[in-house]
Amino acid sequence: MESTGYGNTLNSSGLSNSTDNALNKAASSAHSAVDSVANAADDAARKVKPKIEKVAAMAHQAVDKAADAAGEKAEWLAERGTNLSASQKKLVADTCSYVSENPLKSVGIAVLAGFLLSRILL
């Protein structure tokens, strides 16, 4: 059976290189496994070759769909991580500027928060 190259249809625009590489490597390994099984079955039973090719094509399609779904989820997680990181940096910057502008009020808030936490926890 001839080996047909199946391309991954991942959109790596928002993925990190390591995530993209891992997904591509997993999809490539799965494609290789499908080809290996199809080749072994082809050698053992030439008279069912059309059915083997059909099953192999369906398996490749399933692998591509799984890789696409994983890629979409990885992109979604990467976007959420980026948004969370940006929000964290903005919160820290806003807090620093507030403390710089209002040092006494900031110390008072910190003392009050510490007193309340000590009452709650003890």
Q: What is the pLDDT along the chain (122 residues), one digit of tens a residue?
A: 444 555 544 444 555 677 778 788 888 888 888 888 777 766 666 666 777 788 888 988 988 888 888 888 888 888 999 999 999 999 999 999 999 999 999 999 999 999 999 999 98
0.85 surpassed by pTM = no
Look at residues 81, 60, 94 and name the one whose alpha carbon lies nearest to residue 14: 81
User: To the nearest 10°, the Cα dihedral for 75, 80, 83, 87?
Assistant: -160
pLDDT for the residue numbered 32 = 84
The domain limits of the chain are 17-121
Q: For residue 9, what pLDDT is reported?
A: 46
H/E stretch holding 29: helix 17-44
